[in-house]
Amino acid sequence: MVLQKAPARSNVWGYSTKIGDTVQLTISNNQQFSKTVETKVVSGPEGKGTWKVTLPPISAGGPYHISVKSSLATLSITDVLFATLSITDVLFGDIWICSGQSNMQFTLSMVFNASYEIEDAKNYPDIRLFTVAMETATTPQYDFISVEEPWSVASPASAGNGNWTYFSAVCWLYGKYLYQTLKRPIGLIASDWGGTAVETWSSPDALKSCGITEEPKSISKSKRATPTAHSVLWNAMIHPMLNFTIYGAIWYQGEANAGNPLGYNCSFPAMIDDWRLKFSSASEYTTSPKFPFGFVQLAGNANDPTVSTGFPGIRWSQTASVGYVPNSRLENVFMAVAMDLPDFKSPFGSVHPRDKQTVTSRLVLSGLSVAYGYAKNFQGPFPSNIQVTNQKSTIVITFEKVQNKLEIQSNSGFEVCCSSSSDASVCDQASLTPWKPAPMSSYTANTVSLQIPSSCNGLNLLYLRYAWRESPCDYKKCAVYSGGNNLPAPPFKMPLNSVV
């Protein structure tokens, strides 16, 4: 296994049948390092006798040996009592939790070039893997109900077990790419379940902060403990880890919430806030209250260029309606844009693209900058200024976050909302079809000029949007990229407030 390295102090905890008993923990390695800490067994959750030790800060490396002794032989594992428990081959490094729905559950055996990726796992023995079993609970659990894959050294067997089992492709590749830069042990904990909504992964406190109190109407009282019921995966698959000291988390989810993008604008940031609060508090602040949180912005799905509802709104809400992260609402948060990586012929369904390597490399690029302070250009181009020309025929967008120069792959993807009304809410009413294509007419190193459609003549120009489709382009063929790092511009929606 892996425990969190210095400067953090990692927690080790367990159970005993005798409250008041003295428990002695010793951690040592082969370089004559040894540290012994004593603690008492106290009455913990559900009346169980529990003990917890916060280790001193230990630098990255290993292996270490941890032994725990009880004078009364009361240490318990599944109701069996022991006088001594031992954990061997413990490394200290960075712990990342990987969670979400099916695109996080999507395993390494399912990606492009899977045979190579699985075989390559043997070259990373300092990466350790753990997969939480899919379980639900109506109340918070303090231990996992079951484990799919216990802590394992990275290998072809532990990383490439099979489809939809273990190990998560995005989680594995994230850890592998991090290791290639950081050169220190990485612990990866996959806790995911396909088809699940953000509400299942959120605590009641997080949901309450968004005014979410009712279960989905499709869930009957007899089926509350299912992956569609509120908080059941938080209770069973996240809550048991709260004592654990972690470095950060990554997330790939949102498809199941595509029917309510506006609600996701609150529920997703609220879940991040709540996870941070509860991990930090339960771990006695050995986990940072602002730990790094990364996510994958939704990829494309159906090969239909007309679908503009659902996924585009979720992508926007994933950034708290800003368009990029980190921002003032989502601090210390990073993301990977994936809308330009569709896989319309995926045998696992078009919602499950097989190219997890590209999207994860983008996620690691942003993670290294936000979570580790590496000075890198980790974002695609984003508008810093939008002007309607005096002739009222052209919109000029100036982009920032451009490395070298803009790379243009297409002249399409931009639309304007124009209406006889000055009320911008008409832009959100699909029945009014106020959005008109605004094709690109020219570009420079950091600007794009759009042609305002003649159908908008005499109308109010209200909004401009880009890549606002479920699947806005073919593979790596959206309109705007940064030339230096080939990162795509993310989707955006900006006010114009001009009369043509």
Strands (E), 325-434: 333-336, 382-388, 394-400, 406-408, 414-419
Contact 368, 374 (CB under 8 A): yes
Q: How far is CA 474 from CA 236, 351, 410, in A?
A: 39, 14, 11
Q: Largest Cα–Cα distance in the chain?
A: 87
Residues linked to residue 221 through DSSP beta bridges, in sequence order: none
Q: What is the pLDDT along the chain (500 residues), one digit of tens a residue?
A: 999 999 999 999 988 888 898 999 999 998 788 999 999 999 988 788 899 999 999 999 999 999 999 877 678 766 667 788 899 999 999 999 999 999 999 999 999 999 999 999 999 999 999 999 999 999 999 999 999 999 999 999 999 999 999 999 999 999 999 999 999 999 999 999 999 999 999 999 999 999 998 776 544 343 444 588 999 999 999 999 999 999 999 999 999 999 999 999 999 999 999 999 999 999 999 999 999 999 999 999 999 988 999 999 999 999 999 999 999 999 999 999 999 999 999 999 999 999 999 999 999 999 999 999 997 889 999 999 999 987 789 999 999 998 889 999 999 999 999 999 888 889 987 666 789 999 999 999 999 999 999 999 989 999 999 999 999 999 999 999 999 899 999 999 999 976 55
Distance CA 489, CA 317 (A): 16
Q: What is the pLDDT of residue 227?
A: 86
303 token code pair: 């090969």
Q: What is the pLDDT of residue 75?
A: 80
Domain-wise residue ranges, the chain: 92-370, 382-499
Edge-to-edge order in the sheet of strand 414-419: 435-437, 414-419, 460-466, 492-499
Q: What is the pLDDT of residue 79?
A: 61
Contacts 24+ apart (CB under 8 A), 257-263: 257/197, 257/198, 257/314, 258/298, 258/310, 258/311, 258/313, 258/314, 259/310, 261/310, 261/312, 261/313, 261/314, 261/316, 261/317, 262/313, 262/317, 263/210, 263/212
In which region does residue 330 sit, left (phi positive, over 0), alpha (psi from -120 to 50) or beta (all else)? beta
Residues linked to residue 176 through DSSP beta bridges, in sequence order: none
Distance CA 39, CA 36 (A): 10
Contacts 24+ apart (CB under 8 A), 81-88: 81/17, 85/14, 87/1, 88/63
Collapsing DSSP states into helix, strand and coil, what is residue 64? Answer: strand
405 token code pair: 């120069």
Cis omega before residue 292 (within 30°)?
no
Q: Is the torsion defined by CA of 196, 197, 198, 199 positive or negative?
A: negative
Q: What is the pLDDT of residue 498?
A: 62
Q: Please choose, from the candidates 278, 256, 244, the residue with its C-alpha nearest in 3D space to the C-alpha of residue 200.
A: 256
Q: What is the pLDDT of residue 434?
A: 86
Collapsing DSSP states into helix, strand and coil, what is residue 204? Answer: helix
Strands (E), 226-375: 248-252, 293-296, 333-336
CA contacts within 13 A on the Cβ side of 383:
20
Contact 388, 461 (CB under 8 A): yes
How many C-beta atoms surround the C-beta of residue 218 within 10 A? 7
> pTM, whole model, 2 decimals?
0.94
What is the residue type of 99?
S
Residues linked to residue 383 through DSSP beta bridges, in sequence order: 399
CATH of segment(s) 92-370: 3.40.50.1110
Distance CA 402, CA 382 (A): 8
Distance CA 287, CA 191 (A): 18
In which region does residue 78 sit, left (phi positive, over 0), alpha (psi from -120 to 50) or beta (all else)? left
Distance CA 470, CA 450 (A): 22
Q: Would you list the DSSP string of 434-462? A: -EEE--EEEE-SSEEEEEPPGGGTTSEEE
Distance CA 418, CA 441 (A): 19
* Cα 493 to chain centroid, rounded: 23
Backbone angles phi, psi at 329, to 5 degrees: -85, -30
Q: What is the pLDDT of residue 78?
A: 61
SS3 content of the chain, % helix, strand, coil (to 5): 25, 30, 45
In which region does residue 350 sit, left (phi positive, over 0), alpha (psi from -120 to 50) or beta (all else)? alpha
Distance CA 51, CA 40 (A): 6
Edge-to-edge order in the sheet of strand 42-43: 42-43, 49-54, 11-16, 75-77, 80-82
Contact 51, 41 (CB under 8 A): yes
Q: What is the pLDDT of residue 156?
A: 98
Contact 314, 264 (CB under 8 A): yes
